[in-house]
Structure 1
């Protein structure tokens, strides 16, 4: 009968101290990012810890109050719009992939307003519930980065612009303006001069960037291009209502751009009910691509991006902050237009 193996022993701080030739207290200071050791010693200790395969004990970190082994994620949107929003489902999938590698949990909460979101951050900080947070839907005048800075909570803002980062806060962003410009250029090539953007919530930074980009492109293309945006709450109901309004105008648009896939599908149904043929009378584009865009007829053209990868990038930047790295601004690839059956040449008038 083979001899029974003893369970592998996990490396300890004492092992690291012995190998690095320093005291256990110096190892603790170095690995927890505390002052009291030189940078040379800190790097040597970290290198030895990596060689030995040392990992911090989650239980010990929680008991000592040094960490919660959890990342926070709060969304201030109507709860009934999130369950069918493919963007958030894919984003969380990417975030979870990275957190799972580090054996970290995700604490997710939906609230009614940014004020409620700030209250959640204060409570989490007071209760030592999270080690850092991922922030979505940045706004032009946003109280959250300053608050998180005051609390000392590491944070990554998802969707901020290149100049929106606050000290100590990382930003991961996509060039919404560039994507809108390329989309308008393509619709213009197809002969569309009346374009309506059915946008999401007002005051969100990415909503405002898309609206500004649409106006800029209209001005660049000259007075023949007549475009405007209408804001909604991202729901199918408001999207359908907005579609009916704009298509009931004396000169209805020949192209509609929706800020997500659910809105685009609802808009397509409303346009069809009103007797508009897609794409013969009206071209339809969804900002987000998903399986939903290929479950309707005609299949919807869409701006596509790697949203799961977006989530992985954001979570990776937060891990870097938790490891003591510097705050950064990171740009992900620009969404690209995938043309399907819902777009075509504008009908001559």
Structure 2
């Protein structure tokens, strides 16, 4: 197949001067018309808008920043290693829901990954100075989290996804009254209680927990909730092992738990990627699921339905969760007061991977 050669220059973005020339008006008149400012007649405004649409003219974010207008974008930063996402579906669904809520308002989503929360705070400062975004969506609250204070000082509107309090920590720092921060959170303690009660009802008294990243507020809450449930129900063992959410560390944690003198008869995994890794490690050791060990995934996804045996999982609609967070941010940008919202408690969907422990 022969290559198509062309000496034609790449297409040039239309400018306000192009619109002015086509419409037969001055560039200042184009500016007044496109920014809905007085100074031109209605007929001229309509003509300019028609020409701009036909040429495909759009305002640049830099020009809007210089003029003091909104950036037309919101930011989202993920301070995790890129490989920690793996096949985890939660963030994909979350971002999908965020984008679905932003699209009708013609708001772009600026997404970036960084190494840690300090780099994330620096990025917020840079975005604020450049007027790159109008607000941000914050994920993965930490036990000691500098981001809320940073955003409050900048005056940058934000919605924090996830509870900001963790055991032994007073929660988010005391913020200035003018802080424009809303919070939408899920009940991790209630969700853990659902899982433990299900396993307890099947007869399990030794439960292992392959937890997420240490330092994350939701990881601390889940670990503390498991311990509280163990005390309340009189479980023999309830052990949590922290990871980075990857299948590699999930498998390592499963091997550690299975090698204990009294291994667990049930595992709770903080995402479906680690749940699948735990199932694989069980197979390596000749353990059958659920005859020898039961497995529960904190997140549900198609992989939980297609794996054999199918994984018992918490079912929550991450896309709707993300959509609500984006809607809250848009409300802040429209001048609404900050508020805190609790997301509906997820439902536990029992499947083939959980059953009675050995000997029952």
TM-score by length of 1: 0.82
Name segments (4+ residues, structure 1) moved above 6 Å.
none
Task: Check conservation: 2:85, 2:245, Cα contact below 8 A.
Answer: no
Question: SS state of the match for residue 186, structure 1?
Answer: helix
1:86 is aligned, of 86, 89, 96, to 89
C-alpha deviation, 1:10, in angstroms:
8.6
Return the alpha-carbon distance in structure 2 between the equivalents of residues 10 and 120 of structure 1.
Answer: 31
Question: SS state of the match for residue 110, structure 2?
Answer: strand
1:155 maps to 2:158: yes
1:142 maps to 2:145: yes
Residue 261 of structure 2 corresponds to: 250
1:73 maps to 2:85: no
C-alpha deviation, 1:82, in angstroms:
1.8
Residue 171 of structure 1 corresponds to: 183
1:275 is aligned, of 267, 283, 286, to 286
C-alpha deviation, 1:141, in angstroms:
1.0
Task: Check conservation: 2:65, 2:130, Cα contact below 8 A.
Answer: no
Residue 295 of structure 1 corresponds to: 306
Return the alpha-carbon distance in structure 1 between the equivalents of residues 66 and 81 of structure 2.
Answer: 36
Task: Check conservation: 1:164, 1:171, Cα contact below 8 A.
Answer: no
Return the alpha-carbon distance in structure 2 between the equivalents of residues 203 and 82 of structure 1.
Answer: 17
Return the alpha-carbon distance in structure 2 between the equivalents of residues 58 and 195 of structure 1.
Answer: 57
Residue 325 of structure 1 corresponds to: 336
Residues 36-92 of structure 1, C-alpha deviation per residue, up to 9 Å, x if partnerless? xxxxxxxxxxxxxxxxxxxxx966744412311110000000111224221100000
Question: SS state of the match for residue 255, structure 2?
Answer: helix
Return the alpha-carbon distance in structure 1 between the equivalents of residues 350 and 211 of structure 2.
Answer: 20
2:103 is aligned, of 69, 77, 100, to 100
Residue 262 of structure 1 corresponds to: 273
1:346 is aligned, of 339, 354, 357, to 357
Residues 156-195 of structure 1, C-alpha deviation per residue, up to 9 Å, x if partnerless? 0001247856542100000010010121111101000000
Task: Check conservation: 1:81, 1:234, Cα contact below 8 A.
Answer: yes
Report the CA distance shift for 1:100/1:58 in structure 2 as closer, same or farther (over 3 A).
farther
Residue ranges of structure 2 left out of the alignment (5+ in a row): 1-32, 43-57
Residue 310 of structure 1 corresponds to: 321
TM-score by length of 2: 0.79
Q: Tell me which moved more, 58-67 or 256-265.
A: 58-67
Task: Check conservation: 2:210, 2:243, Cα contact below 8 A.
Answer: yes
Aligned length: 300
Return the alpha-carbon distance in structure 2 between the equivalents of residues 325 and 164 of structure 1.
Answer: 23
Task: Check conservation: 1:171, 1:329, Cα contact below 8 A.
Answer: yes
Return the alpha-carbon distance in structure 1 between the equivalents of residues 196 and 331 of structure 2.
Answer: 37
Q: CA RMSD in A?
A: 2.1
Residue ranges of structure 1 left out of the alignment (5+ in a row): 1-8, 19-56
Report the CA distance shift for 1:188/1:58 in structure 2 as closer, same or farther (over 3 A).
farther
Residues 273-303 of structure 1, C-alpha deviation per residue, up to 9 Å, x if partnerless? 1111100000000000000112211010001
Return the alpha-carbon distance in structure 1 between the equivalents of residues 341 and 38 of structure 2.
Answer: 38
Task: Check conservation: 1:177, 1:210, Cα contact below 8 A.
Answer: yes
1:195 is aligned, of 187, 204, 207, to 207
2:125 is aligned, of 111, 122, 125, to 122
Report the CA distance shift for 1:243/1:310 in structure 2 as closer, same or farther (over 3 A).
same
Report the CA distance shift for 1:164/1:100 in structure 2 as closer, same or farther (over 3 A).
farther
Spell out the pairing of 1:2-21 with structure 2 (5 A cutoff): 12=36, 14=38
